[in-house]
């Protein structure tokens, strides 16, 4: 199964980004990400055997107990690649906990499953962003936007991605609340499961 760890957005941030996506909706070459699927990928794992799930879920809960909630901010838009023909239009994200969480997930996955488990992610530097649209055919760049949107990050998730002709379907396999050191005394539950996006 195709897996990744991600942070999903609250509805008010989804609405603001959906309004921004109207900038490209007039061009058939851009395909917008549906608002309910907008997310920030912390670590892409690619195809993993089902037997890895137990370790990946345990890692998520362990980090959720260690990392406290934090604020994330969306600053403005950019393109991948930045020069030449863009393939992706995205919103840049910042937040003290983003690199911390992404780095801890990388380390934890290597510890639990070995370096091979990072093959899909490769050596790419972590650039926190939310993909707004993908370019499928010739279409112009749109002028940059500035957001200044901030939201509290209180959880992240392990997600299964199924590629289908009409677009990917995301299923949250497990949600991991961020509790930090103060959460260690709280009761540990199994988390929330199985929510399609």
Give the ranges where the chain is alpha helix by DSSP (H): 11-25, 53-66, 96-113
**39 is known as an active-site residue:** yes
Query: H helices then E strands: how many in the chain?
Result: 3, 10
Indicate whether 190 pLDDT > 60: no
Among 22, 148, 142, smallest CA distance to 88 is for 142
The secondary structure of the chain in percent helix, strand, coil, rounded to multiples of 5, reads 30, 35, 30
162: tokens are: 């199924």
Q: Give the confidence band of 17 by pLDDT, cuts at 50, 70, 90.
A: very high
Task: Please calculate the CA angle 93-39-53 and round it to the nearest 5 degrees.
Answer: 120
Tell me how far apart the alpha carbons of residues 36 and 122 are, in angstroms, rounded to a whole number: 27
Indicate whether 166 pLDDT > 90: no
User: pLDDT digits over 71-108, tens only?
Assistant: 999 989 999 998 889 999 999 999 999 999 999 999 99
Among 127, 135, 41, 44, smallest CA distance to 88 is for 135
Indicate whether 192 pLDDT > 60: no
Report pLDDT for 84. 87
| Catalytic option among 36, 129, 182, 197 | 129
């Amino acid at each position: 199964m195709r897996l990744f760890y991600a942070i999903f957005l609250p509805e008010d941030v989804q609405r603001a980004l959906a309004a921004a996506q109207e900038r490209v909706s007039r061009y058939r070459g851009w395909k917008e990400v549906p608002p309910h699927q907008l997310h920030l990928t912390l670590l892409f794992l690619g195809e993993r055997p089902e037997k890895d799930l137990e370790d990946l879920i345990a890692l998520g809960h362990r980090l959720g107990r260690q990392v406290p909630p934090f604020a994330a901010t969306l600053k403005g838009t950019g393109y991948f690649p930045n020069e030449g023909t863009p393939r992706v239009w995205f919103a840049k994200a910042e937040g003290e906990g983003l690199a911390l969480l992404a780095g801890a997930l990388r380390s934890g996955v290597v510890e639990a499953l070995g370096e091979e488990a990072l093959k899909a992610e490769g050596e790419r530097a972590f650039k926190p962003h939310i993909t707004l649209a993908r370019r499928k055919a010739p279409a112009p760049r749109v002028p940059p936007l500035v957001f200044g949107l901030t939201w509290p990050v209180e959880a992240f998730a392990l997600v299964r991605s199924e590629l289908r002709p009409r677009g990917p379907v995301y299923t949250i396999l497990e949600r991991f609340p961020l509790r930090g050191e103060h959460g260690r005394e709280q009761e540990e539950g199994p988390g929330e499961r199985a929510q399609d996006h």
